Structures are given as C-alpha cells and as structure tokens.
Amino acid sequence: MILAIVALAEISAFAEWEEWISALLGIWLIIAPFVLSFSSQTHAMWTHVVLGVLTAIVSLWSVWDYRHEPHAA
C-alpha cells in the first residue's frame, strides 16, 4: 500500500527523494519474508523478492538516469 502511494506521488512530478523511498521499499520487500518469518511460504516469498528487486532496480535506474541526463536550465 505504501509503495502504491509513493508511486502515485511519483507520477504527478518527479522528485529524487521519492525514488530513493521506492528503492528502500524495494529492499524491504526483498528482506520482509525473512524478517517477518514467512519465507517458508514459497510463493509469497518469491513474489516479494521479485517485486522488490524490480522496484529497487527501476527506482535506482531512474535516479541514475536523472543524474546523468543533461537538463534544460
């Protein structure tokens, strides 16, 4: 739910801090099954891990792209 709210905020206007929060939420999705002890539920664990990896990669890519793209003054 938090990830969805942050994603909606990112759609309205780009802000680098929102991408960093998304990356942190992606990392949380990766480690949550192990911290919250539901890693024995294979489907839920892999869903969290895959979505976490995708979220973190896209968020960090967006930050990298923003920092390396020439912007109009």
Give the total number of structural domains in the chain.
1
26 within 8 A of 55, measured Cβ to Cβ: yes
Evaluate whether residue 11 is within a structural domain.
Answer: yes
Evaluate whether residue 73 is within a structural domain.
Answer: no
Tokens at 41, concatenated: 């539920």
Evaluate whether residue 63 is within a structural domain.
Answer: yes
Give the structural domain span for 12: 2-68
- In this model, does residue 8 exceed pLDDT 80? no
- In this model, does residue 73 exceed pLDDT 60? no
Residue with tokens 């680098």: 16
Between 37 and 2, where is the model more confident?
Answer: 37
CA atoms of 64 and 57, how far apart (whole Å): 10
Evaluate whether residue 41 is within a structural domain.
Answer: yes
Per-residue pLDDT reduced to its tens digit, 43-65: 999 999 999 999 999 999 988 98
25 within 8 A of 6, measured Cβ to Cβ: yes
Evaluate whether residue 18 is within a structural domain.
Answer: yes
Evaluate whether residue 26 is within a structural domain.
Answer: yes
CA atoms of 32 and 47, how far apart (whole Å): 11
Confidence (pTM): 0.78
Please give the pLDDT value at position 51. Answer: 96
Please give the pLDDT value at position 72. Answer: 63
Evaluate whether residue 21 is within a structural domain.
Answer: yes
